[in-house]
């Protein structure tokens, strides 16, 4: 199948990957758009994995204040060097992540931070729903897996769709910056404050 420049451009817009990477991905999967996205995602993740052994001890704490001081966010984003931390691209990404947190209100950075009892509670709710819907038990695991994926997209920062570009997740935004800088980059932690929200004891 011929890979056209229009196809390459469209894939690049969706994923933020380089032109040559997009062309390679489309060629590898015979022009199948969804498979090409998966191909790039896997490649991006493997590139990020290679960098994850490098210590990310530098970075920045970015903040964002919304609605005239009614919502405030602070987020720590780490990288390996002061040089990358001070670049406009890195600083802009960190501010964008803070703004996203203000808008989307995630509960955790990534899924491995979700307490086991909270996950068990979610799974039990899904099982009860499936029991009520009289779904065959043999397909429960597959349905629950899909529901958990949606749950992660709701509560985990890296799995949420980026508010400024719904075609990518926050995780993809970070992976694209890893690919661009060649450094390990990670979102370490965040705090979100909303005026008048209930204080948890």
Yes or no: say if 176 and 16 are a contact pair by the CB < 8 Å rule. Answer: yes
Q: What is the pLDDT of residues 174-184, one digit of tens each?
A: 999 998 988 88
Closest CA to 191 of 113, 107, 114, 79: 107
pLDDT of amino acid 200: 55
pLDDT of amino acid 198: 67
The fraction of the chain above a pLDDT of 90, given in percent, is 48
Domain range annotation of the chain: 5-51, 58-105+156-194, 115-153
- 196 versus 16: the higher-pLDDT residue is 196
Distance between CA atoms of residues 136 and 158, nearest Å:
33
5-51 folds as Helicase, Ruva Protein; domain 3 (1.10.8)
Closest CA to 168 of 114, 105, 106, 100: 100
pLDDT of amino acid 46: 47
How many residues are recorded in the chain?
Answer: 201
- 131 versus 105: the higher-pLDDT residue is 105
The domain 58-105+156-194 belongs to what CATH superfamily? Elongation factor Ts, dimerisation domain (3.30.479.20)
Residue 197: pLDDT band with limits 50, 70, 90 = confident
pLDDT of amino acid 60: 95
Distance between CA atoms of residues 168 and 161, nearest Å:
6
pLDDT of amino acid 113: 92
pLDDT of amino acid 201: 45
Q: What is the pLDDT of residues 23-41, one digit of tens each?
A: 888 888 888 887 887 887 7
pLDDT reading at 16 higher than 80: no
Q: How many helices (H) and strands (E) does the chain have?
A: 8, 5
- Residue 174: other Cβ atoms inside 10 A: 20
The fraction of the chain above a pLDDT of 70, given in percent, is 90
pLDDT of amino acid 138: 86
pLDDT of amino acid 52: 55
pLDDT reading at 192 higher than 90: yes
């Amino acid at each position: 199948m011929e890979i056209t420049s229009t196809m390459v451009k469209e894939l690049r817009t969706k994923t933020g990957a380089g032109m040559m990477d997009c062309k390679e991905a489309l060629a590898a999967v015979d022009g199948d758009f969804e498979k090409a996205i998966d191909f790039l995602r896997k490649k991006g993740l493997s590139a990020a994995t290679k960098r994850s052994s490098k210590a990310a001890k530098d970075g920045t704490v970015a903040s964002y204040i919304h609605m005239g001081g009614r919502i405030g966010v602070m987020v720590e984003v780490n990288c390996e060097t002061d040089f990358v931390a001070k670049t406009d691209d890195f600083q802009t990404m960190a501010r964008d992540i803070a703004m996203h947190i203000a808008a989307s209100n995630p509960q955790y950075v990534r899924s491995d931070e979700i307490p086991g009892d909270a996950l068990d509670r979610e799974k039990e709710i899904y099982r009860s729903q499936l029991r009520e819907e009289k779904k065959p038990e043999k397909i429960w695991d597959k349905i629950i897996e899909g529901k958990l994926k949606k749950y992660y997209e709701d509560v985990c920062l890296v799995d949420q769709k980026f508010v400024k570009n719904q075609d990518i997740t926050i995780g993809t935004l970070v992976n694209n910056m890893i690919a661009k800088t060649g450094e390990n980059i990670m979102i370490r932690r965040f705090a979100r404050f909303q005026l008048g929200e209930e204080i948890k004891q």
